[in-house]
Amino acid sequence: MAEQKERTFIAIKPDGVQRGIVGEVLKRFEMKGYKLVAMKMVHASEDLLMQHYIDLKDRPFFPTLIKYMTSGPVVAMVWEGKGAVKTGRVMLGETNPADSKPGTIRGDFCIDVSKNIIHGSDSVESANKEISLWFKQDELCSYSSCASSWLY
């Protein structure tokens, strides 16, 4: 039962918001069977992004990444369900869209790695950290989905 409660953090980046792909991303996660437990649109601060991408701070592209992520609104979400982190990453596709398979979000909607539409947690530990960075505890909704018995 605990594995059904695994949560992942997914963020639609500014290019995905500007291109009107938010609904498509929501649809794919809902159709897969994951439960949306939090969502908001925000202009992410440099401070938040520096914390979020702390592991990339020494990479040469870091300043460009921060500039890109502050260029427009981001849709931050938390999805819940069995294998949410691993399956979420598979649904996103590879970081470089050129390596992503058709049928994945990046494979279907991206061309260039610098505009790769979406972020997804890469581990349960990262998901927990990212969720706590982007959401307060009282912003996470806990509820029973009527579809649960049809999924598990």
Tell me whether residue 106 is annotated as binding. yes
- The single residue listed with the structure tokens 């995905």 is 16
151 within domain boundaries: no
Q: What pLDDT was estimated at residue 4?
A: 77
Query: pLDDT tens, 71-128?
Result: 999 999 999 999 999 999 999 999 999 999 999 999 999 999 999 999 999 999 999 9
Question: Cα–Cα distance between 152 and 148 in angstroms, integer?
Answer: 6
142 within domain boundaries: no
Catalytic residue among 7, 35, 52, 119: 119
Q: Yes or no: say if 31 and 87 are a contact pair by the CB < 8 Å rule.
A: no
Number of domains present in the structure of the chain: 1
Range of the domain at 51: 3-137
Q: Which helix (H) or strand (E) holds 77?
A: strand 74-80
Residue 132: CATH number of its domain: 3.30.70.141
152 within domain boundaries: no
119 within domain boundaries: yes
pTM of the model: 0.94
143 within domain boundaries: no
Tell me whether residue 89 is annotated as binding. yes
Is 119 an active-site residue?
yes
Residue 150, burial from CB neighbour count under 10 angstroms (0-12, 13-18, 19+)? exposed
Tell me whether residue 5 is annotated as binding. no
To the nearest whole percent, how much of the chain has pLDDT over 90? 92
63 within domain boundaries: yes
